[in-house]
Amino acid sequence: MTRLIEGDLVASTAGITIVVARFNELIVDSLLNGALTTLKRQGVQDKNITIVKVPGAFEIPLAAQLAAEQSDCAAVITLGAVIRGGTPHFDYVAGQAASGVTAVALKTGKPVVFGVLTTDSIEQAIERAGTKAGNKGADAAMTALEMINLIRKMA
Ligand code: INI
């Protein structure tokens, strides 16, 4: 018989830490609002949510690691907006943020959700921060809940 294991979206009573990069603050604030609204609508209590702010997406992995190492942290949601400019800086920042977040998840065994927008333009970022392409912060919150519940089933 085939066995299917998948996480549901039941609210976590363990801690969730949201690591937010302040760079491109207007956009990132919308992602944070989306994540918070979604967590609360799913029944996560304020006392179980911690917000950590860092300067830019490049700083996300270290803060995410420190958060994930806390015993009362069940998942980390990372939020940021890296928008392509005229220099290769974008590739370094976006690449290091993505690979750093992956490394933290694998090192700590906890879900570290990548809610960092990497876009070619401000318009694309706005579309993903609560306008026509939804809100990637809200999506990241759902992913965190699903992964918390999945990990519980697989442990
Ligand atoms: N940080 C971002 O989060 N988004 C960006 O678009 C960005 N750009 O374009 O430069 C950015 N740079 C700052 C970087 O994350 C670090 O804070 C900085 O390099 C100091 O380590």
The 3-class SS string of 19-68 reads EEECCCHHHHHHHHHHHHHHHHHCCCCHHHEEEEEECCHHHHHHHHHHHH
For residue 14, the CA-to-ligand 1 centroid distance in Å is: 31
Residue ranges around ligand 1 (CB below 6 Å): 21, 23-24, 55-59, 80-83, 85, 89-90, 93
CB count in 10 Å sphere of residue 144: 30
Q: What percent of the chain has pLDDT over 70?
A: 100
Q: What is the pLDDT of residue 76?
A: 98
Provide the 3-class DSSP secondary structure of residue 102: helix
**Mean of all residue pLDDT scores within the chain:** 96
| Pocket mutation for ligand 1, best pick of 27, 54, 82, 126 (most atoms within 8 Å of C-beta) | 82
- The one-character DSSP state at 104 is H
- The one-character DSSP state at 12 is P
For residue 102, the CA-to-ligand 1 centroid distance in Å is: 18
pLDDT in tens, 21-65: 999 999 999 999 999 999 999 999 999 999 999 999 999 999 999
pTM of the predicted model as reported, rounded to 2 decimal places: 0.97
Question: In ligand 1, which atom is closest to the CA atom of 22?
Answer: 3
